[in-house]
């Protein structure tokens, strides 16, 4: 990456973190920020940043960091569940290594949710590419697949075989390539 691009990316990251911290301070945008990150409209909320974690804790959003030495492995728990597209969300996870998945454990009807965001069933030829355990049953690319961006951010929706009745996952899968 050329120097101007690195500088631009760095500035955008700094601006995004400071905008998030400022929004959290107002106590008005947390639900909007989490929803945007889950639907691939903004960067995931990264509570490894102590300022962000402190602001979330002030709003009674509990943050646990399960891997303080490297990989992203965060959990956010909400005292008052978030309401996102006719679902109820009390837990959000953020996992990452090469790429990341920022996802909610939601209660509601998975098929209705998938339809509401215009998601499609994951076709057989994409099962390996869009695999994150056995949770992916629907997907949506918020931006087009192009030659320059063959793996755009992807909203995955699904459930595990062990999921409780009426419980499913949805969130933003980001690829590093």
Classify 133 in phi/psi space as left (phi over 0), alpha (psi -120 to 50) or beta: left
Query: 69 or 91: which carries more pLDDT confidence?
Result: 91
Q: What tokens were used for 78?
A: 């909400």
Give the DSSP letter of residue 125.
Answer: G
Q: How confident is the model at residue 26 (pLDDT cuts 50, 70, 90)?
A: very low
Q: Domain count for the chain, please give it.
A: 1
What average pLDDT does range 25-29 have in this prediction? 47
Least reliable range by pLDDT among 72-81, 90-99, 124-133, 157-166: 124-133
Q: List the domain range (segments joined by +) for residue 128.
A: 3-174
pLDDT digits (tens, 9 = 90+) for 124-146: 877 777 665 566 689 999 989 89
């Amino acid at each position: 990456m050329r120097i101007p691009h690195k500088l631009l990316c760095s500035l955008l990251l700094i601006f995004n973190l400071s905008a998030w911290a400022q929004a959290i301070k107002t106590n008005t945008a947390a639900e909007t920020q989490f929803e945007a990150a889950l639907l691939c409209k903004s960067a995931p909320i990264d509570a490894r940043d102590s300022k962000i974690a402190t602001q979330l804790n002030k709003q009674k959003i509990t943050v646990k960091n399960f891997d303080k030495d490297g990989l992203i492995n965060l959990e956010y728990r909400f005292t008052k569940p978030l309401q996102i597209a006719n679902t109820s969300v009390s837990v959000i996870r953020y996992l990452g290594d090469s790429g990341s998945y920022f996802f909610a454990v939601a209660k509601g009807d998975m098929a209705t949710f998938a339809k509401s965001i215009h998601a499609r069933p994951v076709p057989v030829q994409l099962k390996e590419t869009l695999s994150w355990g056995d949770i992916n049953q629907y997907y949506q690319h918020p931006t087009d697949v192009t030659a320059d961006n063959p793996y755009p951010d992807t909203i995955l929706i699904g459930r595990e075989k062990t999921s409780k009745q009426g419980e499913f996952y949805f969130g933003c899968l980001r690829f590093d390539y």
